[in-house]
Amino acid sequence: MFPFRIFSLALLLAFSLGSNHAESQSPPAVHSVVPLTKFQPGQWVEKVWGDPSKPGEPFVIRIHNDAGYIVLPHTHLIDENIAVVKGSWALGMGRLFDRSALEPMELGSFGMAPRNMPHFAWSKDETIVQVHGIGPFSSTLVDPVYELTEKGVFVLTSLLQVGTPTTSGPPDCFALKIGAQVHGDRGEGVVIGARCSPSNHITQYWVREPGGDRFWATLPELKQ
C-alpha cells in the first residue's frame, strides 16, 4: 500500500512539473492596438481581431460605408453590437427600409440589433462602424438584391459574400448604366455600380467623383 502511495505522489509531481513546464513554454500574452485607417476603394470589411466565421470565437470587425449608402434589411445569427467610429450613421428595425424608422447614431454611439431581427441602416456621411461579438457572424438579406457591376448583374443573398451571376434580373431595376455621367446634391461623377431591391422599390447608384471620392444616391437624387 505504501509504495503505491509513493508512486502516485511521484506521478502527480511529475504531471505538475510537466504542466508548469508547458505553461512556461507557451507564447506570452501580448497586447494589440489596431489604429483606425482609411479603407481602400471598394473595401467594405476589415478584420480587427479574431475570426468572425469561427463558432465560439470572439471577434471585432470594422465595416465601411460610403456616404449615402443604404444598408438593406438583413439579419444576423448573433446579436450585432455596433459602435460608430467614424462619420454619421442611422439604424432602424423592420423587414422593409423605412427612413422614418431610422434612429441617428453619431460618432461614438452604440447600437444593438438582436439576433434574427431584421434591420437596416443608412450612412449620412462616409462611415465606419465597429462590430463585435461571438462568432459565427453572417449577414443574410431579407430579400435578394441585384447588383450591377462592370462584370454584369449579380444576385446577392448576403451583404458579406460575392453574389451569383444572373441574366434574368428585373428589367426596370437599373435605369442608369455603368459609365453614366450624373450629378446630385452630393456632387457629380460617373456611375461605377448599383444595387437594386425590388421588394423595397430602391435602386441606389455608386458614383465616383473626378477626385476619386465615392458616394451612393438613389435615382430621384440624381440627374444626367
CB 84 within 8 A of CB 109: yes
Whether 20 has a pLDDT exceeding 70, the answer reads no
What is the rounded end-to-end Cα distance, in angstroms, of the chain?
96
| Mean pLDDT, rounded, for 14-23 | 48
Judge whether residue 180 has pLDDT over 80.
yes
- 127 and 149 together in one domain: no
Out of 138, 163, 181, a domain closes at 138
Residue partners of 92: CB distance under 8 A and separation at least 6: 98, 101, 102, 103, 119, 120, 121, 122
CATH number of the domain within which 95 lies? 2.60.120.10
Count of domains observed in the chain = 2
Q: What is the pLDDT of residues 114-139, one digit of tens each?
A: 999 999 999 999 999 999 999 999 99
Q: Do residues 112 and 191 both lie within one domain?
A: no
Q: Which amino acid is at 210?
A: P
Distance CA 141, CA 28 (A): 41
Are residues 152 and 213 located together in one domain of the fold? yes
Residue 75 belongs to a domain: yes
Selected residue with higher pLDDT from 80 and 43: 80
Domain that holds residue 104: 45-138
Evaluate whether residue 33 is within a structural domain. no
pLDDT at residue 44 tops 90 = no
Give the three-class secondary structure for 5: helix
- Give alpha helix (H) positions in the chain: 2-25
Can you list the positions of beta strands (E) in 107-139? 110-113, 119-123, 127-134
Do 145 and 204 share a domain, yes or no? yes
> Which of the two residues, 19 and 9, has the higher pLDDT score?
19
- The angle subtended at Cα 161 by Cα 47 and Cα 179, nearest 5°, is 105
Q: Tell me the pLDDT band of 26, cut-offs 50, 70 and 90.
A: low
Last residue of a domain, one of 138, 153, 183: 138
pLDDT at residue 167, rounded to an integer: 87
pLDDT of the residue at 187: 94
Do 76 and 106 lie in one domain? The reply is: yes
- pLDDT single digits (tens) 2-18: 443 444 434 444 444 45
Percent of the chain at pLDDT > 70 equals 86
pLDDT over 90, % of the chain: 76
The answer to whether position 32 is within a domain reads no
23 belongs to a structural domain: no
Q: Check residue 181 and give its pLDDT.
A: 98
The dihedral region occupied by 153, where left means phi > 0, alpha psi between -120 and 50, and beta the remainder, is beta
